[in-house]
Amino acid sequence: MKSDRKGLKRLFTFSYPRKNKASGKKEPFTLDRNTLLFLLVAQVLNFASLAQELAWWMLAIISLCLLWQVSIFLKKVIKPSKIVVNLLSVAGCVLLIISARQLGLLATMVHLLCFAYVLKLFEIRQRSDFYQIVLLSLFVVSSSLLFSQTLYFSFYVAILVIVNLMVVFLHFAPSETLMATGKRSVKLVLQSLPLAIFLFIVFPKLAPLWQVPFAQSAKSGLSDSVSVGDIANLALSDELAFRVKFEGSAPRYSQLYWRTIVLEQYDGRTWKRKKPAKKRYKENLASIKIKAKGESLNYQVIASQSYQRWLFALGVSDVDRSAQNGTGIIIKEDYTLYNKETITKTLNYNVFSYLNSPLSLKLSEQHKKDNLQFPSSANPRLVAKAKELNRLYSNDIDLIQAVLENFNEDLYHYTLRPPILFNNSLDQFYFDTKAGFCEHYASAFTFLMRAAGIPARMVTGYMGAEYNPIADYYSVYQRDAHAWSEVWLEGRGWLKVDPTAMINPERIERGFSSDLLRELSLYSDNYFSLMRYKQFAWINEIRLQLQAIDYQWTRWVIGYSAKKQTDLLAKIIAVFSLWKIVVGSLVIFTTIYLVLKRVYKPKTKAKQHEPHQQCYLQALAVLVKNDINKPKEMSAEQFALYVSTEQPNIAINFTRFTDLYITLNYQKNGSDEQFKKFDEMQKLFKTLKICSLKNS
């Protein structure tokens, strides 16, 4: 194989194989100073794309190495010897091996990649080293897309690609300005974009070829245990949780309770998800079958990466199993959705929700008991209050109503920063501080219900959504996180009860009230959040516009699946019909070809030959048959002499012929005379023809 390639290479370099390879390698390779500086800048930017995924010690090594490089560049330090670099690499590898378990496989590989990348810069000895660095740069930049694929990040990566290509451009044309090089690089990428998009749309989407390690990262969003204060912290986050696109009309704002986690266990301090008994079922239990009636509400959810498994739905919901990712989602007994795998990248799924359908009309004795349970020592005042309520109201519904009205009538305050409770005591909140966020009200309410003998549980999720009129979809942010209660009533199943609605009805009707927003801007440390400028209409407009673009990016690029591909291609074929596409593309390609041919054809002026010139050319053609060629550099007179010596029999005629040609060509005579001369020329041509025929 190798010798074959060598043979091929020699074949194309033919007559002289290179002098000898060894001497070729010895010639020193040095990068131009400009290029080297720009390479350093590019490297810093490349590392910035992965900085979030790297451990602190790796970041420290990288910044030290980069500083070292800069001082070498400034000629403050000499280049380290090979031994030093080798020692450094061994030390780094040892560190990596030690921390591999903690980092996880993917992160370890990324660390290794970055480490190799930063060390490689110490040993640019040959041209191939430079090329290796270029490829490493591109790989580092590309791999950062494994951790985030948002529009903004992808845009940053695109810019980095352009910057890295600029390094190569600079290497080949170091005299160019940075601006010109940048332009060239952008032009190259833009020229390449159409084909890339075409490939993206048309090239078949393949299933994963083998199992790969997935990223482990800090979980974001709701967790499966809630103590008071948790959700108020989430409310400070502007991070996107998920987006929803409704088919048909969307439900009212107050119906947008995105159920996510159901918490049924209470230990006096925190609410927890009920751990399944090990014997009965494992984590990957089968989905329950949805038996729902009534009209369904169909929508698509695009969940952002959360490194958790929870998914979001309204009320009793079923997942569209035929759609993408449909089979990977489990519907749990409590009607919450759960993904089989950790959500490490954007996930789309389609849901049918039955908002009017009751949840679990029947409740097993065990389940009922679970939902009435609370530690006997917890919150004695609330327990006493429950007893009193039980005495006052015989009807469960009346009792619930009374508790809710109490929230409304008493001086309860809805705030993001409630006073700190001792030992998470709900008693203290309910009777003394009377200030809290949704989870305070929900847990106090749920506790009260349990104490009063009504099965009740905490539900966390998201409340509301922001509508984007530009792209017609809803976004739900982490700040929309919410907690509410569900109580079980005989014959009606689990009913949603939101005590927050009684204290801060605006939250349920429209979203955060202006008071709450003001609080939010006080406590939030994200000063650049556009959310803070919601009051400025034009900024908000830009924000919505950007989000709409991001949404389309998420839908069409990140979420472009094999199914979407076949659907899209089928649609295109249906609209245009196959033969039209074939004919159309043929027409387009031929026009492109013709235009290109016209553009890149060497520009030769089409010469218009005059009659006498044509006659002369014909005579030349006749002479060619007799093996007499007129070289281009030979003048007509010289050629006439040459012909006379070669073919004496036509010498006189041809000399006269040439003479006439020259006079016609270079002298302006009267048209009469010209005509006469041309006539004579034609006659001579005829005789010449006959003569030369005789000759041959």
Partner 1 sequence: MIKKSFNTFVHKRFNRWLKRRIPASATQRLTNRNIFILPSGFGFAYLVFVFVLFLLGTNYQNNVVILLSYLFASVFISAMLQSFFNLSGLKLHCHQQVSTYAKQQTHFSLTIDTDKPRYSLVFQFPHQGKHLQKKVNTGTAVVNIPYCSEKRGVHIPGRLRVSSEYSLGLFTCWTQLDFGCEVITYPQQKKFQNLHSSICAHQDDEHGINVVEGGDDFGDLRQYRQGESLSQIAWKQLARGQGWLSKTNQQQQGNDVWLTLDNLPSTDLEVKLQMLCYLMLEQYQQGQSWAMDLGSEKVPPNTGKKHLTHCLTMLAHYPSKKMSAQAQNEE
Q: Contact positions toward partner 1, by CB under 8 A?
A: 7, 10-16, 19, 128, 131, 135, 138-139, 142-143, 145-146, 149, 154, 157, 161, 165, 168-169, 171-176, 184, 188-189, 191-197, 199-200, 203, 206-210, 212, 214, 345, 557-560, 600, 602
Structure tokens at 137: 């740069």
CB 300, min distance to partner 1, A = 17
**Is the CB of 150 or the CB of 415 nearer to partner 1?**
150
* Strands 265-266 vs 271-272: parallel, antiparallel or unpaired: antiparallel
DSSP notation for 228-269: TTHHHHHTT---EEEEEEESSPPPPGGG-EEEEEEE-EE-SS
Judge whether 427 counts as a catalytic residue.
Answer: no
**Is the CB of 26 or the CB of 252 nearer to partner 1?**
26
CB 494, min distance to partner 1, A = 36
Q: How far is residue 55 from each of residues 100, 104, 494, 631, measured CA to CA in Å? A: 11, 12, 46, 76
**Is the CB of 25 or the CB of 368 nearer to partner 1?**
25
Out of 498, 550, 612, 615, which one is annotated catalytic?
A: 498
* Nearest residue to 459 (alpha-carbon basis) of 257, 613, 618, 283: 257
Out of 171, 440, 482, 612, which one is annotated catalytic?
A: 482
CB 374, min distance to partner 1, A = 45
| b/e burial code for range 450-488 (CB count within 10 A of at least 16 → b) | bbbebbbbbbbbbbbbbebeebebbbbbbbbbbbbbbbb
Whole-number Å distance between alpha carbons of 298 and 248:
8
CB 178, min distance to partner 1, A = 15
CB 549, min distance to partner 1, A = 15
CB 173, min distance to partner 1, A = 4
CB 144, min distance to partner 1, A = 10
Sorted by sequence, the CB contacts under 8 Å of residue 73 that are 6+ apart come out as: 33, 36, 37, 40
What count of other Cβ atoms lies within 10 Å of the Cβ of residue 9?
Answer: 11
**Is the CB of 7 or the CB of 276 nearer to partner 1?**
7
CB 645, min distance to partner 1, A = 23
**Is the CB of 340 or the CB of 417 nearer to partner 1?**
340
**Is the CB of 197 or the CB of 578 nearer to partner 1?**
197
**Is the CB of 208 or the CB of 648 nearer to partner 1?**
208
Sorted by sequence, the CB contacts under 8 Å of residue 57 that are 6+ apart come out as: 95, 99
Structure tokens at 17: 């194989």
Structure tokens at 272: 């927890």
Judge whether 498 counts as a catalytic residue.
Answer: yes
- Phi first, then psi: give them for residue 466, nearest 5 degrees: -105, 130
Sorted by sequence, the CB contacts under 8 Å of residue 244 that are 6+ apart come out as: 299, 300, 301, 302, 465, 473, 474, 475, 476
Amino acid letter, 664 = L
**Is the CB of 600 or the CB of 666 nearer to partner 1?**
600
Out of 65, 114, 438, 615, which one is annotated catalytic?
A: 438
| b/e burial code for range 664-692 (CB count within 10 A of at least 16 → b) | beeeeeeeeebeebbeebeebbeebeebb
Active-site positions? 438, 482, 498
